[in-house]
């Protein structure tokens, strides 16, 4: 780690469908449409739902983790 990186706060990562910020479960979904204004329609596996993608970089076809209607991570 260099001096510039020493002051950076690590960004939380979500693994295995769990939000490490609050230890609650997040749902893996697929983005089916970008709506603008940081919103997207996603396929939940049991229908579609509108969620915020303002905190992540996501496109159509991407798998994301959603917690409380907010995308919190993209899945590789």
- Angstrom CA distances, 24 to 4, 55, 67, 74, stand at 32, 18, 8, 17
Element (H, E) at 6: helix 3-6
Q: What is the pLDDT of residues 9-36, one digit of tens each?
A: 555 556 666 655 555 778 899 999 999 9
The pLDDT value recorded for residue 5 is: 54
How far apart CA 73 and CA 58 sit, in angstroms, is: 9
Which domains, ranges and CATH numbers included, belong to the chain? 8-75 (2.30.30.140)
Q: What is the pTM of this model?
A: 0.70
The pLDDT value recorded for residue 14 is: 60
């Amino acid at each position: 780690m260099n001096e510039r990186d020493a002051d950076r706060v690590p960004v939380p990562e979500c693994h295995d469908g769990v939000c490490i910020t609050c230890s609650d479960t997040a749902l893996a979904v697929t983005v089916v449409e970008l709506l603008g204004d940081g919103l997207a329609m996603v396929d939940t596996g049991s229908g579609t739902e509108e969620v915020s993608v303002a905190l992540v970089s996501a496109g159509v076809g991407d798998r994301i983790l959603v917690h409380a209607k907010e995308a919190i991570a993209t899945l590789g």
